[in-house]
């Protein structure tokens, strides 16, 4: 199912690029956009995880560099019967974490320095269990590609706007540039990016919480961690290279008003905690 969703997302990216190319440069622009879409689809599938890790300047660590974190990941992967993912640390005081990769054999878990300072070993175990469940459920491919596509849509919409304002290619068979089209793209594209994110984020978080609690061995580990993470992320929101990657994190790293809440890619923490507490004695 996730491979089908991936194909749909890549098709959406292709269609959106062709639409923008046609609106800015006519038939020739649409053709160039189609070629660009093919290249982006290839790069997005094979390199989206590396792109996201590079965006956050995540550094790989081994057992020598970070024995506590590496030990937790290794212990839980052995318990779950999974391949050992690569382990990364982001130099960021906001406590958070995410998983990325195209499949369990090519996966990575990344945590911030802030989360390692904030959480106890048991709570960090709950968080890692959650992220490993995303890997086991193969959520990470769709999430990482969605992040890359959402970011691309946002940047391309800005390009379309400025291209339409400063003039585009015109000819007998091509329409000239249209500033109205550019303005519409500026409005619609970020909404389209949010829809892509929301379509794949909320339900998978509940599933990852459930299986993550099973992997960690105690649902209260993750429940307690989520309470702390929500509290500190509201007070120390993350400065992000792109808001398009927000849905990848275990809790929403953004802070804002009603608009941010309206387009939130994460289910309410109180509901997640309630479900986890309901698992006590059943794991």
Q: What residues act catalytically? A: 131
51: left (phi over 0), alpha (psi -120 to 50) or beta: alpha
Q: In this structure, how many other beta carbons lie within 10 angstroms of the beta carbon of residue 154? A: 18
CA-based nearest residue to 124, from 175, 165, 70 = 70
Beta strands across the sheet bearing 106-112: 59-61, 86-90, 106-112, 97-103
The DSSP letter of residue 249 is B
Distances (CA, A) of 19 to 47, 108, 157, 247: 25, 34, 11, 26
Q: Give the largest CA-CA distance in the chain.
A: 73
CA-based nearest residue to 230, from 209, 212, 247, 252 = 252
Q: What span, in angstroms and rounded, lies between the C-alpha atoms of 257 and 81?
A: 42
Q: Is the dihedral of CA 148, 153, 154, 159 positive or negative?
A: positive
81: left (phi over 0), alpha (psi -120 to 50) or beta: left
Cβ-count burial 47-77 (b if 16+ within 10 Å, e if not): ebbebbbebbebeebeeeebeebbebbeebb
Label the pairing between strands 86-90 and 106-112: parallel
């Amino acid at each position: 199912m996730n491979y089908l969703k991936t194909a749909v997302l890549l098709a959406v990216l292709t269609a959106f690029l062709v639409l923008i190319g046609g609106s800015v440069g006519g038939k020739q622009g649409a053709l160039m956009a189609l070629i660009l879409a093919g290249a982006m689809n290839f790069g997005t599938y094979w390199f989206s995880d590396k792109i996201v890790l590079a965006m956050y300047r995540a550094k790989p660590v081994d057992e020598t560099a970070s024995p506590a974190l590496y030990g937790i990941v290794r212990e839980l992967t052995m318990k779950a019967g999974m391949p050992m993912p690569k382990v990364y640390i982001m130099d960021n005081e906001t406590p958070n974490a995410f998983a990325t990769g195209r499949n369990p054999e090519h996966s990575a878990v990344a945590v911030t320095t802030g989360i390692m300072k904030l959480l106890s070993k048991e709570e960090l175990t709950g968080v890692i269990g959650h992220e490993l469940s995303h890997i086991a459920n193969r959520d990470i491919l769709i999430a990482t590609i969605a992040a890359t596509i959402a970011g691309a849509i946002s940047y391309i919409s800005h390009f379309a706007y400025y291209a339409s304002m400063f003039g585009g290619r015109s000819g007998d068979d091509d329409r000239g540039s249209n500033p109205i089209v550019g303005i519409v793209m500026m409005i619609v594209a970020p909404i389209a990016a949010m829809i892509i994110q929301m379509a794949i984020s909320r339900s998978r978080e509940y599933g990852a919480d459930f299986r993550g609690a099973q992997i960690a061995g105690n649902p209260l580990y993750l429940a307690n961690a989520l309470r702390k993470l929500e509290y500190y992320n509201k007070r120390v929101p993350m400065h992000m290279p792109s808001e398009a990657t927000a849905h990848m994190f275990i809790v929403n790293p953004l802070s804002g008003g009603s608009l941010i809440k309206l387009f939130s890619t994460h289910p309410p923490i109180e509901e997640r905690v309630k479900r986890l507490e309901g698992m006590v004695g059943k794991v």
